[in-house]
Amino acid sequence: MRRVLPEPRSDWAYFLDLDGTLLEFVDHPSPVRDERRLRALLAGLHRATGGAVAVVSGRALADVDRLLGDGPLLAAAGQHGIERRDARGHVTHHPFAAGQLERAREQLATAVAERPGLVLEDKGASLALHYRRAPQLGGYAHRLVRGLVPKLGSRFRIQAGKCVVELKPAGRDKGAAVTEFMREPPFRGRAAVFIGDDVADEHGFTTVNRMGGLSIKVGPGRTAARWRLRDVAAVWKWLESGWGALL
């Protein structure tokens, strides 16, 4: 892993995860926090790069907008790329087997009702089972979701994360979302930068590595990323460090 991270540049394309990267984790996936500084940071980066900034998150696109809606409408990929908004504002929803997911939703809701501490997040096209409030139930949560996969067949995959296990449509990940963005203006022709902290972000790291861009892991742990930042505060500091040159 390389040690010296170059300063941000205005001719790069930025792909940014949210939770654990731009936002600190909280016990529940839905509370709104004070994001005024983050919105200002993203607005400045958006201006400096001519709009070549995209949020690439496991959150639903509507949730991303709820958190960051007081600013420019950023390009974004939600639910690991299942839904994607390009820089012009056009939204694409990739198809999925809604009937199969509904049956899985019912089974998970029943299990969550019997296990205090588990939180089921219904994102529309994917289901996330959070156990941050009850880490002792992590093994149970993973077994529960894995047990659903044989019934769903090849159309769905499991995506593990920090204190969460998710059931999502197959064929979509953050790397695929980055690839789609990089084919479009204003991202096309730029060096790609992907910053993330979780297992799901490894798809983004490997994709950006193949493109010869910058892959940046937030926090500890094994990774394909070629650079590392210590925590969310370090991400903000690094992004803001380029403002003098960018703006």
CB 224, CB 213: distance < 8 Å:
no
Surface-to-core class of residue 236, CB atoms within 10 Å of its CB (0-12 exposed, 13-18 middle, 19+ buried): middle
Neighbour-count burial of 114, counting CB atoms closer than 10 A to its CB (0-12 exposed, 13-18 middle, 19+ buried): exposed
pLDDT of residue 167: 86
> Which pLDDT belongs to residue 15?
98
- What is the enclosing helix (H) or strand (E) of 151? helix 149-152
Evaluate whether the domain defined by 98-169 bears CATH number 3.30.70.1020.
Answer: yes
Give the model's pLDDT for residue 37.
81
Report pLDDT for 149: 83
CATH class of 12-94+172-246: alpha beta
What is the reported pLDDT for 31?
46
How much is the pLDDT for 32? 42
State the CB neighbour count (10 A cutoff) for residue 206.
18
Show me where the domains of the chain are located: 12-94+172-246, 98-169
What average pLDDT values come out for the chain (247 residues) when binned by 10 residues?
A: 86 95 70 68 93 94 86 90 94 78 87 90 86 91 89 81 85 92 98 95 97 97 96 93 63
The number of angstroms, rounded, from the C-alpha of 44 to the middle of its chain's C-alpha atoms is: 21
Q: What is the pTM of this model?
A: 0.83
Q: Using alpha carbons, list the distances in angstroms from residue 155 to 21, 97, 129.
A: 29, 7, 19
Catalytically active residues are: 17
